[in-house]
A and B are shown apart, each in its own frame.
Chain A
Amino acid sequence: MEAPDLAAVWLTLKLATVVTVLLLLVGTPIAWWLARTRSRLKGVVGAVVALPLVLPPTVLGFYLLVTMGPNGPIGQLTQAIGLGLLPFTFPGLVIASTFYSLPFVVQPIQNAFEAIGERPLEVAATLRASPWDAFWSVAVPLARPGFLSGAILGFAHTVGEFGIVLMIGGNIPGRTRVVSVQIYDHVEALEYTQAHWLAGGMVLFSFVVLLALYTFNPARRKAA
């Protein structure tokens, strides 16, 4: 592999790592709320979170480009607070990917929280644990398989992202040219050898990730 390919690999890993951390921070409260709430808004929020599962990346890419551009509401906000514009930047890709991979992290964690049920938390309460304490020392450890699945799926899904990056990334080496875009470039330029290296690597990577998910997931091991 040559330097530009390695740069793309590095950038992709960096993007996926940042996005995964961010998704765990943002996704956990959402998943907790969705798992416990009796609010009528539950359906609405759940549907919004799941939207990226069904929408084509072109829809998200198009709206992100327009809203993050200088005339869009997000673009005007980021300019007003001195961040500049987000399209064609690494932070822009992070935000786009966070939206795009949100359901892959929220849903496994939400399922795990729901599987715990009321009982362990009620027991914790009778032992005078505060809700905050119960969350950290009861809910989170019990939901660990959900967190693991969510983190792995979020990471892998971000690595595999293409359409949105193509639409708002601008294909800048070292900043927005991720592996999937680099592969597309190689194929378009008929550089099939380089394309094979990266594409083959992606297949191997994705397989190993999913294999790890299905083999080592503690929940499945217990069930077996």
Chain B
Amino acid sequence: MKKALICLLTATVATLTHADEVQVAVAANFTGPMQVIAPLFERDTGHKAVLSYGATGKFYAQVVNGAPFEVLLAADDETPARLVREGHGVAGSAFTYAIGTLVLWSANPDLVDARGEILKKGGFRHLAIANPKTAPYGAAALQAMGKLGVAESLKPLFVQGENISQTQQFVATGAAELGFIAYSQVIKNGRIGTGSGWIVPGQLHEPIRQDAVILAKGRDKVAALALMAYLKGDKAKGVIRSFGYELPQP
């Protein structure tokens, strides 16, 4: 009995020292890849990544106000830089883990043509975008429509999602006929899985550089460092690419 107890104790202590948990705030557009990467990370390193999904702007406010996140996978590079500047992020830890691809998508398989001409033709009542004030994919969508010269005429048709997941939900339910979302949300086997879509050319908007950063609460934490290293590894990169993201040139 005593022996068993000691065994149990040593086992517990061992797991405490070796395996660690890391609290990760994940930009909503990166939900899909992170759900694949997290189990791989746990299997390969023994550390567990606990994931929360949401809008990057909201995570910023939460982190500044003491949220227990240790790593942020943001939807932009501005938020991590700002967190580092303000002392909430660890200097030198930020890096670009993915470059996002914007897509104009509809649940209706016949609505969106391969060149996005529908934006000029019209014939729809609602166009969903993520809130451009807080969501980088929303801001990129606005830039793209500006470049195409349709931003002003389409503005009355905008419906805004709180983040990119809610934006997709508006379109997926058909409540909005089409909307700008992240390619990662609808990609399946290297192409748009259901409905119809147009992959927005990168030159129509600023690159959506998505940076990861270690937050102050994750400073010197083994699992946080391990996750950052893991995201730079080939296995994670393969997953990230398979979800339609670009990777920065080394």
| Minimum CB distance partner of A84 in chain B | B125
Q: Do the beta carbons of B57 and A170 come within 8 Å of each other?
A: no
Using A185-B131, A188-B131, A189-B57 as known contacts, say yes or no to A171 and B160 having CB atoms under 8 A apart.
yes
Write out, one digit per residue, whether chain A residues 73-85 have a CB within 8 A of any chain B CB (1) or not (0): 0000000000011
Task: Please classify how large the interface on chain B is, using the bins under 10, 10 to 19, 20 to 34, 35 or more.
Answer: 20 to 34
Q: Closest approach, in angstroms, between the C-beta of A96 and any C-beta of chain B?
A: 13
CB within 8 A of B175: which of A65, A166, A184? A65
Q: Do the beta carbons of A188 and B58 come within 8 Å of each other?
A: yes
Task: Please classify how large the interface on chain A is, using the bins under 10, 10 to 19, 20 to 34, 35 or more.
Answer: 20 to 34
The answer for the CA separation of A184 and B125 in the assembled complex, in Å, is 26
The answer for the CA separation of A68 and B126 in the assembled complex, in Å, is 14
Q: Is A150 an interface residue (CB 8 A)?
A: no
Q: Do the beta carbons of A171 and B175 come within 8 Å of each other?
A: no
Q: Closest approach, in angstroms, between the C-beta of B7 and any C-beta of chain A?
A: 45
Chain A residues numbered 189-221 whose CB sits less than 8 Å from any CB in chain B: 189-190
The answer for the CA separation of A189 and B61 in the assembled complex, in Å, is 8
Interface centre among A65, A68, A84, A88 (most CB of B within 10 A): A88
Q: Do the beta carbons of A171 and B162 come within 8 Å of each other?
A: yes
Q: Do the beta carbons of B131 and A170 come within 8 Å of each other?
A: no
| Minimum CB distance partner of B167 in chain A | A170
Q: Which A residues touch B61, using CB under 8 A?
A: 187-188, 190
Using A187-B61, A189-B134, A190-B61 as known contacts, say yes or no to A172 and B158 having CB atoms under 8 A apart.
yes
Q: Do the beta carbons of A188 and B159 come within 8 Å of each other?
A: no
Using A170-B159, A170-B160, A172-B159 as known contacts, say yes or no to A88 and B176 having CB atoms under 8 A apart.
yes
| Minimum CB distance partner of B133 in chain A | A189
Q: Do the beta carbons of B162 and A88 come within 8 Å of each other?
A: no
| Minimum CB distance partner of B135 in chain A | A188
Q: Closest approach, in angstroms, between the C-beta of A65 and any C-beta of chain B?
A: 6
Using A171-B131, A190-B61 as known contacts, say yes or no to A166 and B162 having CB atoms under 8 A apart.
yes
Q: Closest approach, in angstroms, between the C-beta of B4 and any C-beta of chain A?
A: 45
The answer for the CA separation of A166 and B174 in the assembled complex, in Å, is 17
| Minimum CB distance partner of A68 in chain B | B175
Q: Closest approach, in angstroms, between the C-beta of B85 and any C-beta of chain A?
A: 14
Q: Closest approach, in angstroms, between the C-beta of A181 and any C-beta of chain B?
A: 9
Q: Which B residues touch A168, using CB under 8 A?
A: 175
Q: Closest approach, in angstroms, between the C-beta of B21 and any C-beta of chain A?
A: 27
Q: Closest approach, in angstroms, between the C-beta of B188 and any C-beta of chain A?
A: 21
The answer for the CA separation of A187 and B134 in the assembled complex, in Å, is 10
Chain B residues numbered 112-168 whose CB sits less than 8 Å from any CB in chain A: 125-126, 128, 131, 133-134, 158-162, 166
Using A85-B175, A88-B126 as known contacts, say yes or no to A171 and B159 having CB atoms under 8 A apart.
yes
Q: Closest approach, in angstroms, between the C-beta of B105 and any C-beta of chain A?
A: 16
CB within 8 A of B134: which of A65, A167, A188? A188
Q: Which A residues touch B169, using CB under 8 A?
A: 65
Q: Do the beta carbons of A170 and B134 come within 8 Å of each other?
A: no
The answer for the CA separation of A68 and B175 in the assembled complex, in Å, is 8
| Minimum CB distance partner of A167 in chain B | B166
Chain A residues numbered 54-81 whose CB sits less than 8 Å from any CB in chain B: 65-66, 68-71
Q: Is B198 an interface residue (CB 8 A)?
A: no
The answer for the CA separation of A50 and B152 in the assembled complex, in Å, is 44
The answer for the CA separation of A20 and B230 in the assembled complex, in Å, is 56
| Minimum CB distance partner of B177 in chain A | A70
Chain A residues numbered 15-73 whose CB sits less than 8 Å from any CB in chain B: 65-66, 68-71
Instruction: Name 27 A/B residue pairs within 8 A (Cβ), A-sorted.
Output: A65-B169, A65-B173, A69-B173, A69-B175, A71-B174, A85-B125, A85-B175, A87-B170, A87-B175, A87-B176, A88-B159, A88-B175, A167-B166, A168-B175, A170-B128, A170-B158, A170-B160, A170-B170, A170-B176, A171-B160, A184-B162, A188-B55, A188-B57, A188-B133, A188-B134, A189-B134, A190-B57
* Chain A residues at the B interface, C-beta cutoff of 8 Å: 65-66, 68-71, 84-85, 87-88, 166-168, 170-172, 184-185, 187-190
Closest 7 CB pairs of A and B: A170-B159, A171-B160, A87-B175, A70-B174, A69-B175, A69-B173, A188-B134
* Chain B residues at the A interface, C-beta cutoff of 8 Å: 55, 57-58, 60-61, 125-126, 128, 131, 133-134, 158-162, 166, 169-170, 173-176
A-B contact sample (6 more), CB < 8 A, given A69-B173, A88-B126: A65-B175, A68-B175, A85-B175, A87-B170, A171-B131, A188-B133
